Amino acid sequence: MGRWSREVGACKAAALLYNPTPMPELTLNGRKISFKPGQSILQAALDAQVEIPHYCYHESLSVVANCRICLAEVWSINPRTSKLEYLGKLVPTCQQAAAEGMVVYTDSPKAVANQKAVMEYLLINHPVDCAICDQAGECHLQDYSYEYGRSESRFEEAKIKNPKKDVGPNILLYSDRCIMCTRCVRFTREITQTNELMIDGRGSHESIDVFPGMALDNELASNVIDLCPVGALLDKDFLFKQRVWFLKKTPSIDGITSSGDNISVEHNEGRVYRIKPRFCADVNKWWITDEVRYGWKFAHSEDRITLPSINRADGTQETFSKDNPRGAFDAAYAQVDAGLRARSSKRLAVLLSPMLSCEDTFSLVRLALSIDSNALIGLGPVPVVGADKTISGFVIRAEKAPNARGARRVANAILASKGASGGIVEFEAFVHAVADSAIGSVITTGNYPSAWTTPALVAALRGKFIVAIDTLPNALTSVADVVLPGATWLEKAGSFENATGRLQSFEQAIELVEFARSEAQIGMDLAAVRAAKDPMRFSADCVRKEIAKYAGCESFASALYQPPARTPVDGDMVLVEL
Ligand code: SF4
Ligand code: FES
């Protein structure tokens, strides 16, 4: 082969490399869209962000094509004649494979007539009680009725009435509103494989029910509430609490287990009303456990510590008025500073909770080392319940704390940068070490959803100067010299490292509950008091840049996982921006 032909060959190879085979295309309502081989017409349309109405189709479930709203007029190339031919009848786009050169109409007179007929049929027995339905505002029946339905019903007979059923600890089934899409039944068959739900009866008397003697109470049960496209399966906890159009949605990360599940915190006027899953292909896909869905309640507990308090040596407790929270913090911080200075000849110990963010951890470790370069840094107890459990690829984590790994990583990075001989110590070793008389003062952090202290820890801290930063009262806050109100993850921005080592940031969803302050802010405040400087306001971005210096990476944000760009699908939310 001559030089010229070799070069041409190389160019052709390069062209093949840089001009990969173009994606196949079809034409949908006059617009060309590309698709991946194997996709259905509906999947191709959703990826191209072209809406085709659909109820029974869901990306995670088998295709049953029973709701019939997605039907389209389809023209396909006949391989024998190479001519475009009509398939002869309307076909379900959720089931029909997309093919090169296909021409699809969901806006032709036939397709539109079908959409109107399906909507009219679905509404025959529907109570049309949108005014009192919890799903109003996020109901596909309501939306499609407006977009694709008839303006009036021709049905004059009496509607069949179906009862409201209590199908599980967290779920109510309003059978009247069900459109028999069977998403919920397929979820319990195909995803959880617990088979609690079934289809009972036939024809217009068909209804969803739990099998006799069963309850819809598996670990992932409440995902059927999100899957239900109408107001048939509703969340007991959210029922009649709030109209959905008042809710603001903040992208966040599970703050009570080590799963790192991507969640959406839905809130209004400083109160969380519900938590929903946020799609993340690599972590939780479309799902969260009921534990994560309902585990945020402690943030609004009546018992929340929201102001500092001081326990005097004579046994009296000094509490502060809500009228002057700033004065309360000034007094408490002064007491902390004086107590730490009085024991400066002894060693300081700091217990970092695995419930805290990396940013909180950073602020508190830096405070500790600014007071005592030899400070003992320990990790709070990491609750573990049973063993990890995998259900259809979804992992329910046994570890019930969001950031044990992040706390270790950040604390160790700072300790190493300061030339400390050891790293962070685990809880058991900390309890043992802190009992030593060489330890004079201890700063503890909690922020657990439930009681977390152990008698051994409380006993080990006896006689020390104790500063307890926490959200709920416990055995330690009742004996601590100073108690400072910490903030749950819902009230602050930060980042967690999950069980697989994935670092993810989250945003502040709600305002701080009353006068609580983030642990990062408290650390910065106490450092400012000690240095007699003006306090600085906590910013997660600024703290991340600081962490980067210690952690030795170009930027802490670069160590945080960046979600891959993907086409939003139905129900997607804005991903966390870093
Ligand atoms: S209850 Fe909801 S998800 Fe289940 S079949 Fe009825 S409409 Fe579909
Ligand atoms: S979405 Fe295609 S038939 Fe239901």
Q: pLDDT by residue (tens digit) across 230-263?
A: 999 999 999 999 999 999 999 999 999 999 999 9
Give the range among 8-12, 34-38, 436-440, 574-578 with minimum mean pLDDT. 574-578
Strands 71-78 and 164-166: what pairing?
unpaired
The pLDDT confidence band at residue 187, using thresholds 50, 70 and 90, is very high
Check if 46 has its Cβ closer than 6 Å to any atom of ligand 2.
Answer: no
Tell me the H-state helices in 315-385: 325-342, 358-371
Strands 439-445 and 347-352: what pairing?
parallel
Check if 94 has its Cβ closer than 6 Å to any atom of ligand 2.
Answer: yes
- For residue 82, how far is its CA from the centre of ligand 2 (angstroms)? 29
Report CA dihedral (328, 329, 331, 333) to the nearest 10 degrees: 160
Check if 328 has its Cβ closer than 6 Å to any atom of ligand 2.
Answer: no
The per-residue pLDDT for range 349-401, each reduced to its tens digit, is: 999 999 999 999 999 999 999 999 999 999 999 999 999 999 999 999 999 99
Q: Which amino acid is at 437?
A: S
572 has a pLDDT exceeding 90: no
Q: What whole-number distance in Å separates Cα of residue 98 and Cα of residue 76?
A: 9
Q: What are phi and psi of 482, to 5 degrees?
A: -135, 135
In contact, 70 and 53? CB cutoff 8 Å: yes
Mean pLDDT of the region 135-148: 90
Mean pLDDT of the region 149-174: 89
Q: What are phi and psi of 254, to 5 degrees?
A: -50, 125
Check if 53 has its Cβ closer than 6 Å to any atom of ligand 2.
Answer: no
Q: Which amino acid is at 194?
A: T
Nearest atom (ligand 1) to Cα of 230: 7
Q: What whole-number distance in Å separates Cα of residue 564 and Cα of residue 282?
A: 10
In contact, 447 and 356? CB cutoff 8 Å: yes
The pLDDT value recorded for residue 569 is 38
The pLDDT value recorded for residue 486 is 98
For residue 19, the Cα-to-chain-centroid distance in whole angstroms is 39
Among 473, 479, 440, which residue's Cα sits nearest to residue 459?
479
Residue found by looking up tokens 């063993």 in the block: 387
The pLDDT value recorded for residue 301 is 97
Q: What whole-number distance in Å separates Cα of residue 396 and Cα of residue 457?
A: 29
Nearest atom (ligand 2) to Cα of 95: 2
The per-residue pLDDT for range 25-64, each reduced to its tens digit, is: 999 999 999 999 999 999 999 999 999 999 999 999 999 9
The per-residue pLDDT for range 469-512, each reduced to its tens digit, is: 999 999 999 999 999 999 999 999 999 999 999 999 999 999 99
Nearest atom (ligand 1) to Cα of 180: 5
Mean pLDDT of the region 554-573: 48
Nearest listed ligand to the Cα of residue 175: 1
The mean pLDDT value of the chain amounts to 91
Which amino acid residue places its CA nearest to atom 2 of ligand 1? 228
- For residue 233, how far is its CA from the centre of ligand 1 (angstroms)? 7
The pLDDT value recorded for residue 7 is 40
- For residue 158, how far is its CA from the centre of ligand 2 (angstroms)? 28
Q: Which amino acid is at 121?
A: Y
Check if 92 has its Cβ closer than 6 Å to any atom of ligand 2.
Answer: yes
Check if 197 has its Cβ closer than 6 Å to any atom of ligand 2.
Answer: no
Nearest atom (ligand 2) to Cα of 57: 1
Mutate which of 144, 181, 191, 204 for ligand 1? The one with the most ligand atoms within 8 Å of its CB, which is 181
The pLDDT value recorded for residue 362 is 94
Nearest listed ligand to the Cα of residue 63: 2
The pLDDT value recorded for residue 19 is 55
13 has a pLDDT exceeding 60: no
Which amino acid residue places its CA nearest to atom 6 of ligand 1? 178
- For residue 232, how far is its CA from the centre of ligand 1 (angstroms)? 6
The pLDDT value recorded for residue 542 is 81
Which amino acid residue places its CA nearest to atom 3 of ligand 1? 228
Q: Which contacts qualify for 327-335: CB closer than 8 Å, 24 or more apart? A: 328/515, 329/484, 329/515, 329/517, 329/525, 332/308, 332/482, 332/483, 332/484, 333/525, 333/526, 333/529, 334/529, 335/310, 335/481, 335/482
Nearest listed ligand to the Cα of residue 140: 1
Number of CB atoms found within 10 A of residue 525's CB: 23
Nearest listed ligand to the Cα of residue 177: 1
Around ligand 1, the residues with Cβ closer than 6 Å are 178-184, 208, 227-228, 230, 232-233
The per-residue pLDDT for range 123-132, each reduced to its tens digit, is: 988 988 898 8
The pLDDT confidence band at residue 313, using thresholds 50, 70 and 90, is confident
- For residue 329, how far is its CA from the centre of ligand 2 (angstroms)? 59
545 has a pLDDT exceeding 90: no
